[in-house]
Amino acid sequence: MLDLTIMRCRKMLLNRQGAVMIIIAVAFVAIVGFCSLVVDIGNLLLTRQKLSNSVDAAALAGANIMGEKFAEANVKDYAIAAAEEYIRENEWEIVTAGHLGKAMAVAFSDTKKVELDISVSEDHREITVRGNTQVKHFLATVLGISESTVSAAATARVDPATSVTGVVPVGIPAETFDQPDFGFGKECVLKLPAQDGNQGGWRSFLGSGNCGLLDPGSTGQGSSRDIDEEERNGHGSDEWREDFINGYNKEISKGDLIATIQGNRNGPVKAAVEARLNQCTHSPKCSISRYENNCPRVIIVPVYEKGEEKGNHVINVRTVGFAKFLLIDYSEDLDEHGNIESSSIKGWFLEGSIEGDPDPTSSTISEYGTYVVYLSK
Ligand SMILES: [Zn+2]
């Protein structure tokens, strides 16, 4: 009787042990399966993100080159080469279509092969980069799916700017760019000595006493920050200096009127230019041989045509575009008594991309040396 009970108990115990083993085994498979699923999905998403980032950057690199070399015959080849170079730098191996082969790696983000399809529009203003790659699966392999294709595409454009935030309150007449002595990479004077106001060439453009200083907060027509001309010319030096150091904080668009300011404002000009020059934290300091685009020494100046005139003064100018200028120096001319007679802002006009809203309807890619590069799709 006792033996029988012991045997039953042992049998039950063994049955229970067996059941527990089965539960553990099932749970183990489920856990492994779940982990594999997480790994598969994670791997897929990571690869898609990496490919997406790479084609975005490649398209932007291609569009940037199209802006830089828009006048050259083989601009399309340059753009494609730049995009491909960017893909390689991001640790992709470019293969021709149909040669992706088997996905080798099971690791998350190490180098994979990518099929690229790069197209450039007829007008050389738009570049589209499409990429395909393959991702190996853990769990899906059990289900007969060992890998799947991940795709990403990006389109970037290059157009001139139609609006820019952060221009400085000193501009340049559009006709400057047509002068025989003008050139990118040549030293230029941005602000004019007042006594040159009546001299020939573009220096007489704004009339007597006008040195090229602007008040972007005013149209010269009596609105917003606009006060009467006398008051604007007598006051607002602090505003002018702040607008120069930080860039005017509102958007200026092509077609906008900007009020002119009479006089030299030597003090504010000196303080503002020196502040920008000192804000360069790059080593060596930015110069024409090497500069960073985002440096405070690089300023965006409105390019203008003559606006309205009152008496012999041009009271405002009309914005027609935007130029990029590298600040190099502030200089002063002294009169015979040692007083400051006039001051100048010296530097170079630069060619290259700027931040701003693009104008896809413009007939040219680059206006006054500048253009906007952006992802359009
Ligand atoms: Zn710098």
Best-predicted range by mean pLDDT among 58-67, 127-136, 237-246? 58-67
Rounded distance from Cα 148 to ligand 1 centre (Å) = 46
Q: What is the pTM (predicted TM-score) of this model? A: 0.82
pLDDT at 169: 94
- pLDDT the model gives residue 226: 45
With respect to residue 110, please indicate whether it lies within any of the assigned structural domains: yes
260 Cα: distance to centroid of ligand 1 (angstroms)? 29
Instruction: Between 1 and 147, name the one with better pLDDT.
Output: 147
- 104 and 150 co-located in one domain: yes
- 3-state secondary structure labels for all residues of the chain: CHHHHHHHHHHHHHHHHHHHHHHHHHHHHHHHHHHHHHHHHHHHHHHHHHHHHHHHHHHHHHHHHHHHCCCCCCHHHHHHHHHHHHHHHCCCEEECCCCCCCCCCCCCCCCCEEEEEEEECCCCCEEEEEEEEEEECCHHHHCCCCEEEEEEEEEEEEECEEEEECCCCECEEHHHHHCCCCCCCCEEECCCCHHHHHCCHHHHCCCCCEEEEEECCCCCCCCCCCCCHHHHHHCCHHHHHHHHHHCCCCEEECCCEEEEEECCCHHHHHHHHHHHHHCCCCCCCCECCECCCCCCCEEEEEEEEECCEECCEECEEEEEEEEEEEEEEEEEEECCCCCEEEEEEEEEEECEECCCEECCCCCCCCECCEEEEEECC
- As a whole number, mean pLDDT of residues 253-268 equals 87
Label residue 201 by pLDDT band (50, 70, 90).
very low
Ligand 1 center to residue 292 CA distance, Å?
6
Claim to verify: residue 238 and residue 351 sit in the same structural domain: yes
Percent of the chain with pLDDT strictly greater than 90: 48
Q: Are residues 216 and 253 in the same domain?
A: yes
Q: How far is the CA of 296 from the centre of ligand 1 (A)?
A: 6
Residue 145 has pLDDT above 80, yes or no: no
Domain, as residue range, for 61: 14-157
Residue where one domain finishes, among candidates 113, 130, 157 = 157
> Please, is 69 exposed, middle or buried when counting C-beta atoms within 10 Å of its C-beta (0-12, 13-18, 19+)?
middle
End residue of a domain, out of 157, 179, 214: 157
Residues at Cβ < 5 Å from ligand 1 ion: 280, 282, 286, 295
* Per-range mean pLDDT, top range of 35-49, 88-102, 207-221: 35-49
Say yes or no: 213 and 345 in one domain. yes
Q: Which two tokens stand for residue 193?
A: 């000595």
Q: Rounded mean pLDDT of 338-355?
A: 87
Q: Which residue is associated with the tokens 């080159």?
A: 65
Please report, rounded to a whole number, the percentage of residues in the chain having pLDDT higher than 70.
84
Mark whether 286 and 153 lie in a shared domain.
no
In a domain, 9, yes or no: no
pLDDT for res 324: 96
What per-residue confidence (pLDDT) applies to 224? 41
350 located within any domain: yes
Task: Determine the Cα angle at 41 with ends 35 and 45, to 5°.
Answer: 140
Residue 110 is predicted with a pLDDT of 47
Per residue in 61-90, pLDDT tens? Answer: 999 999 999 999 999 999 999 999 999 998
Q: Is the pLDDT of residue 363 over 70?
A: yes
Q: Tens of pLDDT along 217-240?
A: 888 876 444 445 545 554 478 888
In a domain, 77, yes or no: yes
pLDDT at position 152: 96
Residues 150 and 191 in one domain: no
Higher-confidence residue: 356 or 143? Answer: 356
* Measured distance CA(133)–CA(131) in Å, rounded: 7
Residue 361 confidence (pLDDT) above 80? yes
Confidence of residue 303 (pLDDT cuts 50, 70, 90): very high
The mean pLDDT value of the chain amounts to: 84
- Is the same domain home to 112 and 221? no
Report the separation in Å between the CA atom of 338 and the middle of ligand 1, taken as the mean of its atom positions.
33
Question: If you average pLDDT over residues 49-62, what whole number do you get?
Answer: 96
Q: Is the pLDDT of residue 323 over 60?
A: yes
Q: 151 with 177, same domain?
A: no
Instruction: Give me the sheet containing 126-136, strands edge to edge.
Output: 93-95, 113-120, 126-136, 147-159, 370-375, 352-353
- Provide Rg for the chain, Cα atoms: 33
Q: Check residue 99 and give its pLDDT.
A: 67
Q: Is residue 289 part of a domain?
A: yes
Cα–Cα distance for residue pair 292/278, rounded to 1 Å: 14
Rounded to whole angstroms, the Cα distance separating 190 from 203 reads 11
CA 174 to chain centre: 24
Does pLDDT of 42 surpass 90?
Answer: no
Q: What are the CA-CA distances from residue 345 to residues 187, 200, 246, 299 (Å)?
A: 10, 20, 16, 12
54 is a domain residue: yes
State the pLDDT at residue 356: 97
Statement to judge: residues 248 and 227 lie in one domain = yes
Number of domains the chain is built from: 2
Name the pLDDT band for 122 (thresholds 50, 70, 90).
Answer: very high
Could you tell me the distance, in angstroms and rounded to a whole number, from the CA of residue 302 to the centre of ligand 1?
Answer: 21
Cβ atoms of 297 and 253 closer than 8 Å: no
Expressed in angstroms and rounded, the spacing between residue 70 Cα and the centre of ligand 1 is 27
**pLDDT tens digit sequence for 159-171:** 999 999 999 999 9
pLDDT of residue 263 exceeding 90, the answer is: no
Instruction: Indicate the residue among 133, 157, 181 that finishes a domain.
Output: 157
Task: Please check whether residues 142 and 286 belong to one and the same domain.
Answer: no
Domain identity same for 351 and 227: yes
Specify whether 70 is located in the same domain as 148. Answer: yes
Res 6 pLDDT > 90? no
Q: Structure tokens of 122?
A: 């007829």
- Rounded distance between C-alpha atoms, residue 79 and residue 52, angstroms: 19
Q: How sure is the predictor about 282, in pLDDT bands with cuts at 50, 70 and 90? A: very high
Give 8 or 149, the one with higher predicted confidence. 149
2, part of any domain: no
341 C-alpha to ligand 1 centroid (Å): 30
Q: How confident is the model at residue 9 (pLDDT cuts 50, 70, 90)?
A: low
Would residue 65 count as lying in a domain? yes
Distance CA 346, CA 192 (A): 10
Closest CA to 120 of 162, 61, 161: 61
